[in-house]
Structure 1
């Protein structure tokens, strides 16, 4: 009998150890699905080395920049931060030429890789909806040329090529199952999706539930767009339940690709965020709403969630943005999406644990690490309780 009891105890210890490790593994995967956009349209931004420290303090392992700033690429070397770089829209007519594309990759990527962990090249930004409609014709040739250049240099296995699109590329987005691309871009979009399908690259979408709420605050629930508890909506055709707008927008993109004959392409969110300040007409642009949106989104990422249509495919999301960029044109909101001010002080508490203490850091800051520890502790306690019940029953 004593031998049997010892075996039972050993099994319990092994099971507890496995469960605890699984909990920690889940936390690490959750953080790995979160990135941040590092824009530089500001006059007094911190130097790249301070920015790197700030990103590390947020426990974020992925970042995206809107150019190939050599100072940033050099600073991020050996940091283990995965970096996505961007080819500016005006460069598309140039890099569509294979020789120019090879020259661009040889100059802007090869010297820094692999010390700098460049994992993606975004060819342009929101080209499908750019006011310069001539850019659409350059997009796919430019993407193909950049990819071919990576192949020639042996980098294609490490660096994916794609382009981020605005949600405005959709003709229909509600309900999600009605998602479809605008007819005027469907031809080029099909060519682009064929490339993504053949290379295993993701479709990136800039999705902002804030815009939908601002345009129709009387019909759209604020809790629904902020990830707060709410009744949600049910797609009348698929019967899938959505408790937040971002996931509905992502699934609308998936359905739009279905309609063009592409079903296996992963969708990732290249930009999403909420402004902490806006003009009087920009309803909902407040510090409180920005904090709630990003905080709730971070919590969702901790859960390693997928969308209702793809529940088992972790949704990768890049928050917009690291800094308020005071030199951006347009409405006030455009200059106030940052988690931090240009001097490095926190604009509001978004649920990260900033190790680089600043004067405006709130004592109520929610640490990703501490949240994971609490979750693991709770799982451990629950597991202990049921194992005790099982043991007493045995």
Structure 2
């Protein structure tokens, strides 16, 4: 029996079906890539054993209109899942591989393997060499950081990618010896010998200074004396810097401006500071004050509103803050306190951990071959065409 007879109707002409398929495809692309992309970045960590496939994550992020993604590696499956999507990527060289990058041949080989094959279809715009290197005690790693950055930069130039892909590193806020008032911001004395040449490199390469800022840590350490409204972007009188007379109504902006002050104190006023991580945990151990869905939603939601307003810090009001929110998913294999596993905007099944107005679609999984795969776009088109055909029959 013909399929049309089984449905009790005549199949529509092929040209009509093809037109509908094309319409679905064009509509999908327009929805995914319309100009009003959300001006936020998302950290996409994968220290978990229950996360959806990169292909499904690609749908989720594009349906949310997220325009920037930061990885902690250069996962080819992730980069491949975002081909021709227009999403901008920061990829990372892990601390365990930094020292090897000092060798120019190794740096070039890394780029040829992890970056060059995906360009320009995947928009890789930045490489972070190491993460929070000065937080640890590995003196060899600290000494090799700048030579590794220089080697990667030179390899990019040799491959004709200079100017298209930046090179930098991400720092934790504990590189600061002083951060309040913001105008008195200064790097730790032991960090300065490393930081001075790194800043000169960033200035020469026109690369940003990345900082991981977590007001939550300040609140967790001293909840009795750190005003909750100040760390959550809620209405409050703020704090005035006695040197500049600038008023700060939230801790994050004060932290960023203290970094600007520390950079300027070492003679540089031409380097942009970007927030490579910030977030608030939705759950924690009993001694982790403030780790609740309510506070996490308040922090992230208010931060997103500031970003959408293209707001700058008091020191640089005309420069919109550039933020990568941590993180996309809760990651169940991360070590440390419970909060470390609960920074996600979403659970691994695509359900929001809390509501901040970010709506996304995580497509279903295909179990037909015993593997978990995202339903291909062509399959979704054919499903839509079949549905329209039946409805018009």
The normalised TM-score by structure 1 is 0.82
Q: In the aligned structure 1, how far is the partner of 2:51 from the partner of 2:139?
A: 32
Name the residue aligned to 2:134.
128
Q: Residue in 1 aligned with 2:258?
A: 252
Q: Give me the whole-angstrom Cα distance separating, in 1, the residues matched to 2:284 and 2:294.
A: 13
- Alignment counterpart, residue 177 of structure 2, candidates 171, 180, 186: 171
Alpha-carbon distance between aligned partners in 2 of 1:46 and 1:128, rounded to the nearest angstrom: 33
Question: Is 1:263–2:269 an aligned residue pair?
Answer: yes
How big is the shift at 1:132?
2.3
What displacement does 1:303 show? 0.4
Structure 1 partner of 2:226: 220
User: What is aligned with 1:140?
Assistant: 146
Q: 1:355 to 1:50 in 2, by over 3 A?
A: closer
Describe the SS at the equivalent of 1:164. Answer: strand
Question: Structure 1 residue 29: deviation in Å?
Answer: 7.8
Q: For residue 79 of structure 1, what is the aligned residue in structure 2? A: 85
Alignment equivalent of 1:326, drawn from 318, 328, 332: 332
Deviation at 1:357, TM superposition (A): 8.9
Using the TM superposition, give the Cα deviation of residue 245 of structure 1 relative to its aligned residue in structure 2, in angstroms: 0.4
SS of residue in 1 equivalent to 2:90: strand
Counterpart of 2:38 in structure 1 is 31
Change (3 A) 1:197 1:30: farther
- The answer to whether the Cα contact below 8 Å between 2:36 and 2:65 also exists between their aligned partners in 1 is no
User: Aligned residue for 1:96?
Assistant: 102
How large is the RMSD of aligned CA atoms in angstroms? 1.5
* SS of residue in 2 equivalent to 1:183: coil
Query: Do structure 1's residue 354 and structure 2's residue 371 form an aligned pair?
Result: no
> Residues of 2 paired with 1:29 and 1:264: CA distance?
29
Q: Residues of 1 paired with 2:35 and 2:76: CA distance?
A: 30
Give how far 1:73 is off: 1.2
Q: Deviations over 1:131-157 (max 9, x none)?
A: 423211010000000000000111111
Task: Report the equivalent of 1:311.
Answer: 317
Identify the match of residue 190 of structure 1 among 176, 180, 196: 196
Distance of 1:263 and 1:218 partners within structure 2: 36
Query: Does 2:213 correspond to 1:207?
Result: yes
Look up the SS of the partner of 1:80 in the other structure. Answer: coil
Q: Distance in 2 between matches of 1:342 and 1:357?
A: 12
Poorly superposed stretches of 4+, deviation over 4 Å: 27-30, 355-358
User: 47, 54, 79: which is aligned to 2:60?
Assistant: 54
User: Whole-Å Cα distance in 1 between the matches of residues 36 and 84 of structure 2?
Assistant: 21
Map of 1:291 onto structure 2: 297
Q: 1:337 to 1:79 in 2, by over 3 A?
A: same
Judging changes above 3 Å, is the alpha-carbon distance between structure 1 residues 356 and 98 closer, same or farther for their aligned structure 2 residues?
closer
Q: Say which is worse superposed, 239-248 or 343-352, in terms of deviation.
A: 343-352
Unaligned runs of 5+ in 2: 1-33, 365-393
TM-aligned CA distance change 1:29 to 1:230, over 3 Å = farther
Alignment CA distance shift 1:216-1:30 (3 Å): farther
* Aligned pair partner of 2:285 in 279, 283, 300: 279
Q: Which moved more, 1:329-338 or 1:155-164?
A: 155-164
